[in-house]
Homo-oligomer: A and B are copies of this chain.
Amino acid sequence: MNASKQVVFTPSGLRGVFPEGTTILDAARTLGVDLDTVCGGRGICGRCQVRVGSRPGIEARADRLSPPGPTETEYRARRPLDEGNRLGCAAQIVDDVVIDVPPESQVHRQVVRKRAEVAALPVDPVVRLYYIEVAEPDLASPSGDLQRVLMALAEQWQLEGLAVSSMVLSGLQPALRRGAWEVTVAVRDGAELVAVWPGFRDIALGVAFDVGSTTIAGHLCDLLTGDLLASAGRMNPQIGLGEDLMSRVSYVMMNEDGAGRLTAMVREALDGLIGELVAEAGRDRLDILEVAFVGNPIMHHLVLGIDPRELGTAPFALATTDPVEIMASELDLLTHPVARVYALPCIAGHVGADAAGMVLSEGPHRGDAVQLLVDVGTNAEIVLGNRERLLAASSPTGPAFEGAQISSGQRAAAGAIERVRIDRETLEPRFSVIGQEMWSDQDGFDFSLVSGICGSGIIEAIAELYLSGVIGPDGTIIGRETSHRVVPRDRTFSYVLCDDPLIEVTQGDVRAIQLAKAALNAGARLLMDHYRVDQVDQIRLAGAFGSHIDPIYAMTLGMIPDCDLSRVAAAGNAAGTGAMMALLSGVARAEIEAVAKRVEKIETAVEPRFQEHFVAAMGIPHSRDRYPELAKVVDLPARTPAPRGRRTRR
């Protein structure tokens, strides 16, 4: 008769009394401790690794567990096993013991990312792998191979009543025989058997996409561990048929099967990115079992093969706001044939799955602070609220922030001026361009590589000109004879930012930015009206533009409502992070689906107050001494620009 021993699991604190000889995995299962296993306790997968811990009265001693036996010795011969780590399925209880379950052995783990923008992501994928031993067929009691697989899943994993993908059928019998009646299966949503491989296997990959009108970014992840294996980006090839979203819709309206062509182009780009990602990570695209993506409504529709023409004219009806699941093969993506693509929900006609991804990533609905989330592109997507209530709107900022409608404007690409400083006294400029490390006043700066000015550059230039007194609070460029930098043009003035090549900030440029920033500010104010707050607790600037604009300049110009600067932060590629979260976690999907349903949509076009706010926001709201740190020209770049190769402009 075996004596009973106490087992305490940390960090869960779950405890129980078990007969000597009970395995740690069995004890964990009995108590409901979150201890992972793919092989079901057969000493193969190594996911149930634990360590002996301690607490008052039970010191950490290796001999509280049985000594390592053949299972662990064999495992160690195949794979590394850290000193002191034990396989929970093999180690047996010998004495009272504290068992520490490290994070990597938990099923519902949090993976901490290296890149700042990707914080802790819960890993709880919709596709999970299960290793099973299947009964062999028997002439005397005939049953289908599939039925014996389902029986094994019920007996060995308590998975009952599974549906079965028809795609499992053709490979099932060879897999069972090649694996000598031991196979690994993939189960989706705990409800459907979707794939079978011979023998033990712990490879399951996924890809998250952020499909922007300009750039597409992809991330290859390990679905089991949550590890980010590779990231890559490429231009959206549709850009050849129209720079911005509305020109894509025009293309659709003017060309027979224009939508089909745009769909084919974006899908080809996605498939190409998959190829890049697996090549970079040295993996096989046929191991990709799941894909998730975000995009603005037009990209969302085009990826899914839905003609986006309805999004081009009022009332901007989306085909669907719900999340969409579709086979990867239907989108012409070459992956494992059972891979499905999950499109995050859309919120409204101009507030798409990208905004949903941003919400999922930044989580205004998870906290009490009233958060303003802004993603700036041709339209600005604006979300305001907290756990109580969320509002969303799209504001027609136009393409000025992306460098369009600016006399020397260009997209944020090599050669674009992106940072600008102007001497408060001499009005002489200094600037940096994308692709050169040094500033324009440093030795070796190559002016021949300067080609234009991008969105963040024009914002900084206008703010610095205001702070230097060249631009008045109403946005007028004030002529002054003391500087050759301010020159008359027609009946207005321009500021010469660069002599050769000639790059000016014109009165028209200032007006274009004023219109754009007024629209952005008015959208935010409209949501604040609806929310009945005068100011917000936090501001998050999402997207590439949001990441590269300096909040202090944005605030100076009144792009965003006033807020303590310490509470304004860039959110990085929040939409892409949201896509990754949805890729890795079914819980995250349920979360954003529930949140998207209860977001209140505010349509700026039908709100008279939007016009009022818009007019009121045209000027520059703050006096020049609002931010003392800007009283004189800032000597150093306010912040280190992110490596351009990583930058994904959406």
Q: Which A residues are closer than 8 A to B by beta carbons?
A: 137-147, 164, 166, 169-170, 172-174, 304-307, 310, 314-322, 324-327, 330, 346, 348-349, 601, 603, 605-606
Do residues A144 and B321 form an inter-chain contact, with CB atoms below 8 A?
Answer: yes
Nearest B residue to A600 by beta-carbon distance? B141
Contacts of A321 in B (CB 8 A): 143-144, 146-147
Do residues A315 and B137 form an inter-chain contact, with CB atoms below 8 A?
Answer: yes
A/B interface sample: 24 pairs, CB < 8 A: A139-B314, A139-B603, A139-B605, A140-B606, A141-B601, A142-B315, A142-B316, A142-B317, A142-B318, A143-B321, A144-B317, A144-B321, A146-B319, A146-B320, A166-B304, A166-B327, A166-B330, A169-B320, A169-B324, A170-B305, A172-B306, A172-B319, A173-B306, A173-B319
Cβ contact of A320, chosen from B144, B316, B320, B605, cutoff 8 A: B144
Do residues A140 and B317 form an inter-chain contact, with CB atoms below 8 A?
Answer: no
Contacts of A306 in B (CB 8 A): 169-170, 172-173
Nearest B residue to A166 by beta-carbon distance? B326
Contacts of A137 in B (CB 8 A): 315-317
Do residues B315 and A348 form an inter-chain contact, with CB atoms below 8 A?
Answer: no
* Assembly CA distance A144 to B378 (angstroms): 22
CB distance from A15 to the nearest CB of B (A): 41
Do residues B174 and A322 form an inter-chain contact, with CB atoms below 8 A?
Answer: no
Contacts of A314 in B (CB 8 A): 139
Cβ contact of A169, chosen from B164, B169, B319, cutoff 8 A: B319
CB distance from A243 to the nearest CB of B (A): 25
Do residues B603 and A140 form an inter-chain contact, with CB atoms below 8 A?
Answer: yes
CB distance from A35 to the nearest CB of B (A): 33
Contacts of A164 in B (CB 8 A): 320, 322
Do residues A166 and B324 form an inter-chain contact, with CB atoms below 8 A?
Answer: yes
CB distance from A379 to the nearest CB of B (A): 14
* Assembly CA distance A320 to B164 (angstroms): 10
Do residues A305 and B169 form an inter-chain contact, with CB atoms below 8 A?
Answer: yes
Contacts of A172 in B (CB 8 A): 306, 319-320
Contacts of A170 in B (CB 8 A): 304-307
Contacts of A327 in B (CB 8 A): 166
Do residues A145 and B603 form an inter-chain contact, with CB atoms below 8 A?
Answer: no
Nearest B residue to A324 by beta-carbon distance? B166
Do residues B320 and A139 form an inter-chain contact, with CB atoms below 8 A?
Answer: no
CB distance from A122 to the nearest CB of B (A): 26
* Assembly CA distance A172 to B319 (angstroms): 7
Cβ contact of A304, chosen from B169, B319, B601, cutoff 8 A: B169
Contacts of A146 in B (CB 8 A): 319-322
Nearest B residue to A163 by beta-carbon distance? B325
CB distance from A479 to the nearest CB of B (A): 44
CB distance from A241 to the nearest CB of B (A): 20
Contacts of A141 in B (CB 8 A): 601
The residue among A170, A346, A603 with the most chain B CB atoms within 10 A of its own CB is A170
Contacts of A144 in B (CB 8 A): 317-322, 346
Contacts of A142 in B (CB 8 A): 315-318, 348-349, 601, 603
Do residues B317 and A145 form an inter-chain contact, with CB atoms below 8 A?
Answer: yes
Contacts of A316 in B (CB 8 A): 137, 139, 142
Do residues B140 and A320 form an inter-chain contact, with CB atoms below 8 A?
Answer: no
CB distance from A195 to the nearest CB of B (A): 15
Contacts of A324 in B (CB 8 A): 166, 169
CB distance from A3 to the nearest CB of B (A): 46
* Assembly CA distance A318 to B305 (angstroms): 38
CB distance from A136 to the nearest CB of B (A): 8
Nearest B residue to A143 by beta-carbon distance? B321
* Assembly CA distance A172 to B320 (angstroms): 9
* Assembly CA distance A326 to B164 (angstroms): 10
The residue among A140, A166, A305, A316 with the most chain B CB atoms within 10 A of its own CB is A166
Cβ contact of A173, chosen from B305, B310, B349, cutoff 8 A: B310
Do residues B320 and A145 form an inter-chain contact, with CB atoms below 8 A?
Answer: yes
* Assembly CA distance A334 to B398 (angstroms): 46
CB distance from A169 to the nearest CB of B (A): 5
Contacts of A330 in B (CB 8 A): 166
The residue among A315, A316, A322, A327 with the most chain B CB atoms within 10 A of its own CB is A315
Nearest B residue to A331 by beta-carbon distance? B166
* Assembly CA distance A304 to B170 (angstroms): 8
Please give 19 more A-B residue pairs, beta carbons under 8 A apart, in addition to A145-B318, A172-B320: A138-B315, A139-B314, A139-B315, A139-B316, A140-B603, A142-B315, A142-B316, A142-B601, A142-B603, A146-B321, A147-B320, A147-B321, A147-B322, A164-B320, A169-B306, A169-B319, A170-B305, A173-B307, A173-B310
Contacts of A173 in B (CB 8 A): 306-307, 310, 317, 319
Contacts of A322 in B (CB 8 A): 144, 146-147, 164
CB distance from A315 to the nearest CB of B (A): 4
Nearest B residue to A345 by beta-carbon distance? B144
Contacts of A139 in B (CB 8 A): 314-316, 603, 605-606
* Assembly CA distance A346 to B147 (angstroms): 12
Contacts of A325 in B (CB 8 A): 166
Contacts of A326 in B (CB 8 A): 166
Contacts of A317 in B (CB 8 A): 137, 142, 144-145, 173
